[in-house]
Chain A
Amino acid sequence: MIKQYIHKGNYDATELDGEWIILNTDDYTVTKINEVGGVCWSLLNESQTADTLTQSLMDMYEIGENEEQVKKDVEEFLHNLVECGLIQNVNR
């Protein structure tokens, strides 16, 4: 089954000069992500797979090649967000 991810709870996300700070008030943690991460974070309001996120980024930033590398980066980013307790796998 293709893994789908979505925000795990309600968070306060603040954008500052292209970087994002995400406050998790359940665990009292803060996470900083860069601009592209912020785009992915916004899309994760609704459930996404590594493929749908990759496609959105390739369209948004007009990337014509290296799709495999983009997908690899997206998968790593999703893994990190799961580790930080910010998103969850909705297939579970």
Chain B
Amino acid sequence: MKEIITKIGDHFIHIICDSNKLAEMFNVNFLTINNYNLKFDLSITIKEGYGVPFLDYKVDITKNNDQIVFRRADYLIEVDCEYKVATILVNNGLALKHALMNIYSSFIVYRNWGLLIHSSSAMEKDNVHVFAGQSGAGKSTVAKLSYPRVLLSDEATLVKISPNNVTVFNSPFRSEIEADKLEREITLDSLNLLYQSHLNKRNSLTKSEAILRLMNKVFAWQHSQEETKNIMKLLTNLVNMVPVYELHFQKNNTFWELIS
């Protein structure tokens, strides 16, 4: 049994894990804090021994009066309707990472805080640029090609959308590239939708087109009317404050000439 306090975005999360092996995941990319007097935004109990290894991304979501249940072949999440206390049952470490992304994504939408977006992101001077796309679009490739810039994410970007500004936090949800220690939030300068190409080209998108293209880049949320409206509201605020582009890029670092 291990107790961990971590910070994701600007949320303090309390974790109790019955498996030391699974708890080790939090040593790699997650910020751990030794202060048990904090007020936690979310408390999660993690248990091992559920289901089968990864089959597919299909998540069944059910909701009753006081609980939401997310069920995938390799994980099960039970959380109260206000996203304060959750239990996560998992098959292995990959299932735990995906379950945490699922619950955190729903949690920040519920709070109207922001969005978890399928994307990588890199810092250039004092700003950050996000590179979004579905699996295979080139998020990790772009992340690797952005070296030596500081990477804030290589798979899932934490975007905080406030009324007057949009910022990005260092993401603990990593695929290949380990997180640097970086605790402050950085202003988001541009959002780029990725397309691999023989030529580098960057086209500006209208705000409405940007919303349509970004909708399926947001991590899974429960398909309730309320949450879908929240996502639309957050996306509207996002495209009103940050320019969105279609970025056709060659597989080398020259695409950065179009950005910085």
Binding site for B on A (CB under 8 A): 12, 14, 16-17, 19-21, 23, 25-26, 28, 30, 32
User: In the complex, how many residues of chain B place their beta carbon closer than 8 angstroms to a beta carbon of chain A?
Assistant: 15
A19-B236 contact given A25-B225, A25-B229, A28-B223, CB 8 Å threshold: no
Task: Identify which of B211, B223, B229 contacts A16 (C-beta below 8 A).
Answer: B211
Contact in complex: B208, A20 (CB < 8 Å): yes
Is B162's beta carbon under 8 Å from chain A? no
| Residues of the B chain whose Cβ atoms lie less than 8 Å from the Cβ of A14 | 232, 236
Contact in complex: B223, A32 (CB < 8 Å): no
A32-B229 contact given A16-B239, A16-B240, CB 8 Å threshold: no
Is B82's beta carbon under 8 Å from chain A? no
Contact in complex: B225, A32 (CB < 8 Å): no
| Residues of the A chain whose Cβ atoms lie less than 8 Å from the Cβ of B236 | 14, 16, 21
- Chain B, residues 36-75, CB within 8 Å of chain A (1/0): the string is 0000000000000000000000000000000000000000
| Residues of the B chain whose Cβ atoms lie less than 8 Å from the Cβ of A25 | 225, 228-229
Smallest CB-CB separation from A21: which chain B residue?
B208
Is B28's beta carbon under 8 Å from chain A? no
Interface of A (DSSP majority class): strand
| Residues of the A chain whose Cβ atoms lie less than 8 Å from the Cβ of B240 | 16
Enumerate 18 A-B pairs (CB-CB under 8 Å) in ascending A order.
A12-B229, A12-B232, A14-B232, A16-B206, A16-B207, A16-B211, A16-B240, A17-B206, A17-B207, A19-B207, A21-B208, A21-B211, A21-B236, A23-B229, A23-B232, A25-B229, A28-B228, A32-B209
Is B215's beta carbon under 8 Å from chain A? yes
| Residues of the B chain whose Cβ atoms lie less than 8 Å from the Cβ of A30 | 211-212, 215, 232
Smallest CB-CB separation from B210: which chain A residue?
A16
Q: In the complex, A20 Cα to B206 Cα: how many Å? A: 11
Smallest CB-CB separation from B231: which chain A residue?
A23
| Residues of the A chain whose Cβ atoms lie less than 8 Å from the Cβ of B208 | 16-17, 19-21, 32
Q: In the complex, A19 Cα to B205 Cα: how many Å? A: 12
Smallest CB-CB separation from A33: which chain B residue?
B208
Q: Which of B144-166 contact A (CB under 8 A)?
A: none
Q: Which of B238-258 contact A (CB under 8 A)?
A: 239-240
* Residue of B206, B208, B228, B232 with most chain A CB atoms under a 10 A cut-off: B208
Q: In the complex, A17 Cα to B225 Cα: how many Å? A: 25
Smallest CB-CB separation from B226: which chain A residue?
A25
| Residues of the A chain whose Cβ atoms lie less than 8 Å from the Cβ of B239 | 16
Q: In the complex, A20 Cα to B223 Cα: how many Å? A: 22
